[in-house]
């Protein structure tokens, strides 16, 4: 019966594969951490748009993204400018994370393995 | 007589039990296959007290319509692109020159140095449809075949080479056979699948 319950128990709560938490500066500056959903963006843009044209390096933690850059149209600000997507004044739409989250790629099998992800 | 019927009852109970177990396994596997995308407010990552969450799309709404997979986002992104289920932009500015796989290049690269595992047939074309050449070359991989050093599973599991994306945003490294998919030909016979 225990096995049966284990099998039918709801799956533990988890992030979506490829979600990235940005919390290098957020909480220090008094806002929630940012959660970037890869899945949402890759439906609309190829990897190369952000990782080539926008210049996001392909390793979480290698990019120092400041709000001042975004407001000037760099990084997220290339689209999040009230023209393509919501602008930098919509804090709560990007700064959506629970307090205390660690920066990095979250979700999926990778986080339990030996890799640095 | 009594003994036989007791045994029969036991066999019956065992059969019944195995049926229940099989059903449970089928249901949980089915759930996993059908997609188990958590709503943002329940994924353990988003702050449910943020009222703006209701304005964001939940994964299930978008991902349930795409070709299914059993790992990662439970979406086969290559198929989604091939079948036109997604139509992602390749640039923001009209003037950006996007580099793609040279038509003269073979669409696949065969990697033979894989110890006792099957060889790896790397689908170059499918990768270049998502990525720019410069995302992998010359940083992670040298363009000239056979000149990349340190390209092994240890480094891949550390997030280098294929592991830069696979395990983070592309199907995870637990899916061994998806890459190690090319049986090694054996001497004097047909290819032997491992």
Return the domain boundaries, chain B: 1-34, 89-192
- Answer yes or no: is pLDDT of A38 > 90: yes
Instruction: Give the residue-averaged pLDDT of A93-109.
Output: 87
- What is chain A written as a DSSP string? -HHHHHHHSPPPP-PPTTEEEE-SSTGGGTSPPEEE-HHHHHHHB-HHIIIIIS---SSTTS----HHHHHTT-GGGGTBTTTSB--TT-HHHH--BPTTPPSEEESSGGGGSSS--
- Answer yes or no: is pLDDT of B183 > 90: yes
**Chain A hits for B47, Cβ within 8 Å:** 32, 96-99
Mean pLDDT score of chain B? 87
- Can you give the pLDDT at residue B35? 65
Judge contact between A19 and B38, C-beta under 8 A: no
User: What DSSP designation does B165 have?
Assistant: T
Which residue in the set A45, A51, A105 is minimally distant from B89, CB to CB? A45
- Can you give the pLDDT at residue B2? 55
- What is B23-66 written as a DSSP string? HHHHHHHHHHHT--PPPGGGSSSB-TT-GGGGGSPPHHHHHTTS
Predicted confidence band at B34 (pLDDT cuts at 50, 70, 90)?
low
- Can you give the pLDDT at residue A91? 97
Q: What is the CATH number of domain B89-192?
A: 3.90.10.10
Which residue in the set A3, A53, A115 is minimally distant from B96, CB to CB? A53
Domain ranges of chain A: 16-102
- Answer yes or no: is pLDDT of A32 > 70: yes
Whole-angstrom CA distances from B117 to A21, A90, B148 are 35, 50, 20
Euclidean distance between the first and the last CA atom of chain B, given in angstroms as a whole number: 52
* Structure-token pair, residue B118: 């099957």
**Chain A hits for B25, Cβ within 8 Å:** 7
Q: What is the pLDDT of residues B70-100, one digit of tens each?
A: 988 999 999 999 999 999 999 999 899 888 8
**Chain A hits for B24, Cβ within 8 Å:** 3-4, 7-8
At which residue do the structure tokens 């290098």 appear? Answer: A24
Q: Do B172 and A110 touch (CB under 8 A)?
A: yes
Enumerate residues 6+ apart whose C-beta is below 8 A from B44. A13, A14, A15, A98, B38
- Can you give the pLDDT at residue B136? 94
- Can you give the pLDDT at residue B131? 95
H helices of chain B, in order, are 2-33, 59-63, 77-82, 124-130, 133-136, 153-157, 176-179
Which residue in the set B89, B93, B173 is minimally distant from A44, CB to CB? B89
Q: What is the pLDDT of residues A13-29, one digit of tens each?
A: 478 889 999 999 999 99
CATH 3.90.10.10 corresponds to the domain A16-102: yes
A31 in B contact zone (CB under 8 Å) = no
Q: Do A8 and B46 touch (CB under 8 A)?
A: no
């Amino acid at each position: 019966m225990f096995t049966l319950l284990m099998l039918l128990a709801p799956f533990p709560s988890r992030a979506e594969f490829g979600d990235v938490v940005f919390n290098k500066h957020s909480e220090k500056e008094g806002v929630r951490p940012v959660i970037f959903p890869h899945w949402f963006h890759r439906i609309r843009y190829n990897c190369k748009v952000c990782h080539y044209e926008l210049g996001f390096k392909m390793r979480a933690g290698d990019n120092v993204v400041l709000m001042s850059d975004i407001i000037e149209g760099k990084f997220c600000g290339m689209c999040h400018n009230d023209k393509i997507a919501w602008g930098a004044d919509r804090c709560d739409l990007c700064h959506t994370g629970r307090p205390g989250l660690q920066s990095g790629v979250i979700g999926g099998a990778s986080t339990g393995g030996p890799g640095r992800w | 007589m009594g003994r036989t019927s007791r045994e029969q009852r036991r066999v019956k109970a065992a059969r019944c039990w195995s049926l229940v177990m099989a059903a449970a396994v089928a249901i949980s596997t089915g759930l996993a296959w059908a997609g188990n995308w958590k709503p943002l407010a329940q994924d353990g990552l988003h702050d449910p007290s943020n009222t703006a969450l209701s304005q964001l799309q939940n994964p299930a709404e978008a991902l349930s319509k795409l070709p299914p997979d059993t790992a990662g986002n439970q979406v086969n992104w290559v198929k989604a692109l091939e079948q036109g289920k997604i139509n992602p932009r390749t640039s923001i500015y009209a003037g950006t020159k996007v580099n793609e796989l040279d038509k003269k290049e073979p669409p696949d690269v065969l990697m033979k140095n894989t110890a006792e595992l099957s060889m790896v047939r790397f689908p170059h074309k499918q990768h270049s449809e998502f990525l720019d050449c410069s995302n992998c070359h010359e940083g992670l991989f040298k363009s000239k075949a056979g000149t990349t050093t340190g390209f092994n599973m240890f480094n891949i599991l550390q997030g280098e080479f294929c592991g830069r994306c696979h395990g983070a945003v592309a199907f995870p490294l637990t899916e061994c056979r998806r890459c190690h998919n090319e049986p090694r030909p054996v001497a004097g016979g047909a290819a032997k699948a491992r």
